[in-house]
């Protein structure tokens, strides 16, 4: 049985700051060598060349090593950064570490991690990627001690996107790529990864190459997929609940049906185990919400609740940034805290125009 999990959210005070992680370790909240995953938001542009993700990655790994974790072990810790804190979203990190706790018959938070086989540039956007991601999800589930897919509430991934260099590499080997537009490949990598998660969890049957990015009826309700230039494998973190692990925390999930669906956020929090009134308010959270994790996407029809918007036609500000800011504002209005994990590019992650929501709550001892 896996160890219990301690999870804390900390602010990031500047682009290279990891001081709050150091403070958690110094205060004895968690040990450096027991950190198993970090998921956070950085303040860059969220695009292909968002190097704030690499800067934050380095800063957090350096703290873990400085505080006593073996360097080789730290290299293997999954650290998933989503770039872009548009609007009111505040840079922050959610840190997961194993801890000692009495076993419990109540479902409590558990985390498992796996890396996929290498994803070649010609795999991205095709069934080969779906298969490799699905296999890694199954490994991560097993490491988390989860045997029932219904107990998986959040799967966070980081996968490679296409760059000019990797496109050139594929061509040199006589291969083709799904797209030669590197920014478009971000949406592609995320969407294809989500299909792999959905296959592993039995949400859909194996799709075809033609389904990728086109059949939006195929989606996962628990996938949260990010992509970047910093790796060539799928980094998979499975977050769910299991009996026997013990601890104070529990995770739940729901979906936002559209960009304004605050009720979808509240439903995820209820799913995690908080008893809320029928029409909850922020103060009803009573400090028990650790964080929420959302994906968002512009509806393909360019509308929200029947009203037209211009996000997909805007040549000045890419829709990635606009929808992230909008959903970030809705989410912060629910939680009362702008440090929320809202990530864009949600193809095959939740319904078109909406997206999955996961919530982690502290249920006490």
Active site residues: 158, 226
Strands 289-296 and 249-256: unpaired
Q: Among residues 210, 160, 163, which one has the least CA distance to residue 189? A: 160
For residues 242 and 353, the answer to whether their CB atoms sit within 8 Å is: no
For residues 256 and 326, the answer to whether their CB atoms sit within 8 Å is: no
For residues 349 and 201, the answer to whether their CB atoms sit within 8 Å is: no
C-alpha span between 59 and 73 (Å, rounded): 16
Q: Which residues pair with 82 in a beta bridge?
A: 41
Angle between helices 19-26 and 52-66 (to 10 degrees): 20
Q: What's the gap between Cα 345 and its chain centre?
A: 11
Cα-atom radius of gyration of the chain, to the nearest Å? 19
Q: What's the gap between Cα 281 and its chain centre?
A: 25
C-alpha span between 256 and 218 (Å, rounded): 16
Q: Among residues 85, 35, 84, 82, which one has the least CA distance to residue 60? A: 35
Q: Among residues 259, 289, 317, 344, which one has the least CA distance to residue 82? A: 344
Q: Among residues 344, 17, 34, which one has the least CA distance to residue 191? A: 344
Q: Where are the alpha helices (DSSP H) in the chain?
A: 19-26, 52-66, 71-75, 127-143, 164-172, 182-200, 262-272, 319-335
- The C-alpha angle with vertex 275 and arms to 270 and 276, in degrees rounded to 5, equals 80
C-alpha span between 218 and 227 (Å, rounded): 20
- In this structure, the dihedral spanned by the alpha carbons of residues 80, 226, 331 and 154, taken in order and rounded to 10 degrees, is -70
């Amino acid at each position: 049985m896996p160890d219990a999990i301690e999870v804390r959210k900390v602010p990031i005070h500047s682009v290279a700051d990891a001081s709050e992680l150091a403070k958690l370790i110094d205060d004895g909240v968690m040990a450096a060598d027991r950190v198993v995953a970090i998921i956070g938001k950085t303040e860059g542009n969220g695009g292909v060349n968002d190097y704030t993700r690499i800067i934050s990655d380095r800063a957090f790994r350096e703290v873990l090593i400085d505080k006593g974790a073996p360097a080789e072990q730290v290299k293997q810790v999954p650290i998933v950064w989503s770039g872009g804190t548009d609007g009111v979203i505040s840079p922050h990190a959610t840190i997961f570490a194993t801890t000692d706790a009495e076993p419990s018959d109540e479902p409590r938070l558990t985390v498992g991690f796996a890396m996929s086989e290498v994803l070649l540039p010609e795999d991205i956007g095709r069934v080969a990627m779906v298969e490799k991601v699905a296999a890694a999800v199954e490994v991560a589930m097993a490491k988390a001690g989860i045997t029932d897919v219904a107990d998986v509430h959040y799967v966070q991934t980081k996968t490679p996107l296409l760059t000019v260099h990797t496109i050139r590499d594929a061509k040199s080997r006589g291969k083709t790529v799904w797209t030669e537009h590197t920014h478009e490949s971000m949406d592609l990598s995320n969407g294809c990864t989500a299909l792999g998660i959905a296959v592993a969890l039995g949400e859909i049957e194996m799709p075809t190459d033609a389904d990728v990015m086109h059949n939006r009826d195929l989606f996962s309700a628990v996938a949260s997929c990010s992509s970047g230039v910093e790796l060539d494998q799928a980094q998979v973190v499975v977050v769910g609940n299991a009996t026997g692990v013990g601890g104070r925390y529990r995770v739940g999930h729901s979906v936002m049906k559209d960009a304004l669906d605050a009720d979808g956020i509240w439903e995820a929090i209820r799913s995690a185990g908080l008893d809320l009134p029928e029409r909850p308010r922020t103060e009803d959270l009573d400090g028990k919400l650790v964080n929420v994790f959302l994906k968002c996407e512009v509806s393909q029809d360019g509308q929200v609740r029947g009203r037209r918007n211009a996000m997909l036609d805007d040549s000045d500000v890419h829709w990635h940034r606009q929808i992230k800011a909008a959903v970030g504002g809705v989410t912060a209005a629910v939680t009362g805290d702008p440090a929320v994990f809202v990530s864009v590019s949600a193809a095959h992650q939740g319904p078109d125009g909406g997206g999955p929501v996961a919530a982690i709550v502290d249920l006490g001892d």
